[in-house]
Structure 1
Amino acid sequence: MLDRELIQNRGFRNVVDDDGTTTGFQLRLRMPNYRGVAGSLVDGVEVEVDGETWDREVPRWTLQGRDFSIDELRTSTDVRWQLDEAATITVPKPGGLEPGVHDVRVSIAIRAPYIPAQFQPSLFPAQRKVTIVA
């Protein structure tokens, strides 16, 4: 089951490679729209943790068990972000985040084909304190 908040409580963790190197962190996001959207309409997510910001082009997306850069997602034809599915966002950060409570802010950008281009994308901001456990 998904949390009501856009930033999910579960899934906030450091990413550790097979060789033990911590290469970044992950968080999970709920679809902010009232219905799912095609992956090609997702225009990225800006992530800020404790004042450090990553542009919406940087994080990688995992949807339907598949990993995408934002460019790959924009050109996809067979993936959707469903209303009942959390997207996993992977942010590169050598060494990851320290264990403890972090102030996380995101701004999810989604385009809609029925809204004029000059008003695109729609931004869905959220903020939450989440914890990385050692």
Structure 2
Amino acid sequence: MRIKKSVSKNSVSYSVIDNVRGVNGKSTTKVIEALGNEQQIRERHPGVDPEEWARAYAKKLTLEQKLKTETILIKHHPDKVIPKGKQKTFNVGYLFLQSIYHQLKLHKVCQEISSKYNFSYDLVSCKMKCIQNK
């Protein structure tokens, strides 16, 4: 992240911006946070040069972002025996389908169909079981 310094006739404004690659592959900048003009920064942080403070703040945000996206590696030794009854794998592949199912509100459609035609079978629980079993 870096700062953007906008100089106008009456004041100087600072913003924190970041380079972002769009869906079409083109590079663009995105405003992360508007820090305000020189006067506002001096009022909030007296005795500090606004540009130096803005650069330090952008550097701090960059470090925080790097810590959040840090890769974690878990090492497993292939010769070690897994204790009996200990679960090492989890089936969570259905979770993204479940979120799409609820975003499209298909559970409400299924409820409406079953109530309209007086089904004794619950279509919503069937869909959830089908999604989880895949």
TM-score scaled to structure 2, two decimals? 0.27
Higher Cα radius of gyration? 2
Q: Which of structures 1 and 2 has the larger relative contact order (alpha carbons within 8 angstroms, sep 6+)? A: 1
TM-score scaled to structure 1, two decimals? 0.27
| Structure with the bigger percentage of strand | 1
| Structure with the bigger percentage of helix | 2
